[in-house]
Amino acid sequence: KAGVTQTPRYLIKTRGQQVTLSCSPISGHRSVSWYQQTPGQGLQFLFEYFSETQRNKGNFPGRFSGRQFSNSRSEMNVSTLELGDSALYLCASSPWGAGGQPQHFGDGTRLSIL
C-alpha cells in the first residue's frame, strides 16, 4: 500500500513569493492534516481537511491556506512568503481524522526562503 506522498521534496523561494505544496494521502484516507516543523519546535498544526472541507484550523495567519480535492489529494498554499516560513511542511492522512487513530505522515517538503 503506497504511503503519503508529498511533492516537491525541496523548494527554494524568495521573500514575497507564493508557494503551493502537494500531498497525496494513503488510498482510502479522507482526512488530511498539515503541520509545520521548525528547528527546536514540535509539529505545529496548520489545518485539517476532510471530504473537501476544512474541519480544523491552527493558529497561523491567513497567508496559509489549503484545499482538498474530491480524490482526497490536498494542496497547501503560502502567500507573501517571509523568512520565518522556512520550515519542513508535513502532511499526514488517516481514514477519518486524528481522534482515536494514528495519522500517517509523508516525508515532507523542505521550504527555504531566501
Partner 1 sequence: DQQVKQNSPSLSVQEGRISILNCDYTNSMFDYFLWYKKYPAEGPTFLISISSIKDKNEDGRFTVFLNKSAKHLSLHIVPSQPGDSAVYFCAASGPGANSKLTFGKGITLSVRP
Question: Applying CB under 8 A, which residues contact partner 1?
Answer: 4, 6, 31, 33, 35, 40-45, 48, 50, 55-56, 58, 90, 92, 96-108
Is 62 or 102 the residue whose CB approaches partner 1 more closely? 102
Query: Between β-strands 53-57 and 109-113, what pairing exists: parallel, antiparallel or unpaired?
Result: unpaired
**Minimum gap (Å) between residue 71 Cβ and partner 1:** 20
Contact 17, 35 (CB under 8 A): no
Distance between the two ends of the chain, CA-based, in angstroms?
37
**Minimum gap (Å) between residue 30 Cβ and partner 1:** 10
**Minimum gap (Å) between residue 107 Cβ and partner 1:** 5
Nearest CA among 103, 30, 108, 19 for reference residue 73: 30
Contact 17, 81 (CB under 8 A): yes
